[in-house]
């Protein structure tokens, strides 16, 4: 391994600009020789966009703003578990989010995805809800996300008579 002395590192940084940008671009070019390198910058909102990195403007780099894309995506695919995990980013009003969160939770719980993916989507939704409702306790947040027991696991499914409460 070659070690650069502090002055050499400083000169290297001055010569190359953003070294991380160049390294990732070089790796992409090595993995796909002969192809143009293109990228996508994704921001939560347009006001978070600092502008493209040097030399990475259109057509090399596209920009997407989640606050514009996700609401339309949720309208088109309300049963998409990947969109359901991001509902706290989509619904601006807290009252509306409290109503919508249980449905998003059920979309994730019933989605035909592998268990590790389901667990990750559940954690994403929980994390986003914790960020949106920082004053609620874990118990209060969990009460927003009801866990329904599958019918096969209930006594009624086993043929036991249901007794009135």
Answer yes or no: are the C-beta atoms of 40 and 62 closer than 8 Å: yes
Q: Is the domain of 47 the same as that of 98? A: no
Q: What pTM was computed for the model?
A: 0.61
Answer yes or no: are the C-beta atoms of 65 and 49 closer than 8 Å: yes
* Domain's final residue, options 76, 103, 127: 76
pLDDT digits (tens, 9 = 90+) for 80-90: 999 999 999 88
Domain of residue 42, residue span: 36-76
Task: State the total domains in the chain.
Answer: 2
**Is 89 within the bounds of a domain?**
yes
Q: Is the domain of 137 the same as that of 96? A: yes
**Is 105 within the bounds of a domain?**
yes
**Is 3 within the bounds of a domain?**
no
Q: Is the domain of 142 the same as that of 95? A: yes
pLDDT digits (tens, 9 = 90+) for 78-132: 999 999 999 998 888 989 998 889 999 999 999 999 999 999 999 999 898 988 8
- Element of type H or E holding 141: helix 138-144
Dihedrals phi, psi of 40, to nearest 5 degrees: -135, 130
Coil, strand or helix at 108: helix
């Amino acid at each position: 391994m070659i070690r650069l002395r502090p002055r050499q590192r400083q000169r290297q940084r001055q010569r190359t600009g953003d070294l991380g940008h160049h390294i990732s671009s070089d790796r992409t070019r090595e993995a796909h020789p002969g192809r143009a390198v293109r990228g996508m910058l994704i921001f939560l909102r347009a006001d978070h966009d600092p502008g493209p990195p040097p030399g990475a403007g259109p057509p090399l780099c596209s920009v997407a703003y989640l606050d514009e894309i996700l609401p339309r995506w949720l309208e088109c695919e309300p049963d998409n578990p990947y969109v359901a995990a991001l509902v706290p980013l989509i619904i601006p009003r807290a009252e509306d989010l409290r109503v919508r969160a249980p449905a998003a939770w059920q979309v994730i719980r019933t989605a035909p995805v592998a268990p590790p993916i389901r667990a990750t989507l559940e954690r994403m939704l929980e994390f986003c809800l914790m960020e949106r409702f920082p004053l609620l306790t874990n118990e209060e947040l969990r009460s927003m996300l009801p866990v329904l027991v599958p019918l096969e696991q209930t006594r009624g499914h086993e043929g036991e008579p249901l007794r009135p409460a």
